[in-house]
Amino acid sequence: MRTPRKGAASPQAARALADVRAAERILPEPIQGHLVAFMQYLRLVRNSSACTLRAYRADLEQFLGFISCHPDLGSDGLSRLTRQHVRAFLADLQVSEYRRTSLARKLAAMRAFCKWANRQALMEGDPTIGIQTIKQEKKLPKFLRGGEVEALLAAPDTETPDGQRDRALLELLYASGLRAAEAHRLDVGDLDLFSAEIRVRHGKGDKERIAMLGEDAIAALQHYLQNGRIALATAGAAAAEQAVFLNKFGQRLSDRGIRRTFDRYVTQTSDRLKITPHVLRHTFATHLLDNGADLRSVQELLGHANLGTTQIYTHVTTERMKDSYDKAHPRASKRDGDGQG
């Protein structure tokens, strides 16, 4: 098996660099050069993830393409860009029936680029200042109920190395609330099973935090590390690999591999569609709040920068309480009927 040479870029870094290079082939000069420089800034200074780089590149190619084709602006028109041009671009997107989530993401990319361009003296002021943030449609996060969680966690065959890994992975995701990308980047040295803690070194925005583990997750991880992981590492002749979760070649299990693993067990245990590994993160937060955890602690465990992001889970628990009330109280159906207090 061919092993990567020492110092070679990771697949994620290689994809990120490819995203930067792709920008060089799309737009006319000099606007092309500005996009390439901004992508380099995101990658090297902001340490943005490969996913963020891909999304920003696609959104900014569209925005800068609009600028380069605009009769008042052209390929050298950044310095003449105004708030009216930004609003015209967003209006075009709305006419094309883009979803609010897409519009909000594109506006976020435009804000980041214009802020950077203004600091580089490519613009006279930031034309995105004063543009109203696009309101999102409020969707309550999906989560699994108790029986669904138990069925999912019990699905892997723990007599095999792959099954031991998958059981440990699922238990970890539910016990800790980690994102799939964070689990993908975990190294063995990040686990402290004695203290029941995980050091998450590569959280969203590359922020570091401590996550917790329960007894079942610790037991599954110990069994996997002492048995299945050794078998996978030996089969792939990759004893030096530090990743917690290995594929059949003894290499780090990819983010996509984690999603495929999750999809396989969901298909076996649930008839609900479009359930992703992130649903276990939602389930983690919802079950904590259901059982009395305070919102601030859940925020820290999830690694949310803003408490408002975590508060969406309080809506989930409130909706569940209302549902239970409506089903159980003999006079619940008349709650809103006569308007009396």
Instruction: Kindly list the catalytic residues.
Output: 179, 204, 278, 281, 304, 313
**Number of other residues whose CB lies within 10 A of the CB of residue 214:** 14
- Give the torsion sign (CA, 28, 31, 35, 37): positive
Q: Which of 78, 197, 198 is nearest to 126 (CA)?
A: 78
CB 168 within 8 A of CB 162: no
DSSP state of 227: I
CB 245 within 8 A of CB 169: yes
CB 127 within 8 A of CB 145: no
CA separation for the pair 215, 196 (Å, rounded) = 8
Torsion of CA 284, 289, 292, 295, to 10 degrees: 110
Question: Residue-wise over 36-64: b if at least 16 C-beta within 10 A, else e?
Answer: bbbbebbbeeeebbbebbbbbbbbbbbbb
DSSP state of 197: E
DSSP state of 78: G
Q: Which of 270, 259, 286 is nearest to 177 (CA)?
A: 286
Distances (CA, A) of 320 to 182, 294, 315, 316: 29, 17, 9, 6
Q: Which of 194, 199, 245 is nearest to 224 (CA)?
A: 245
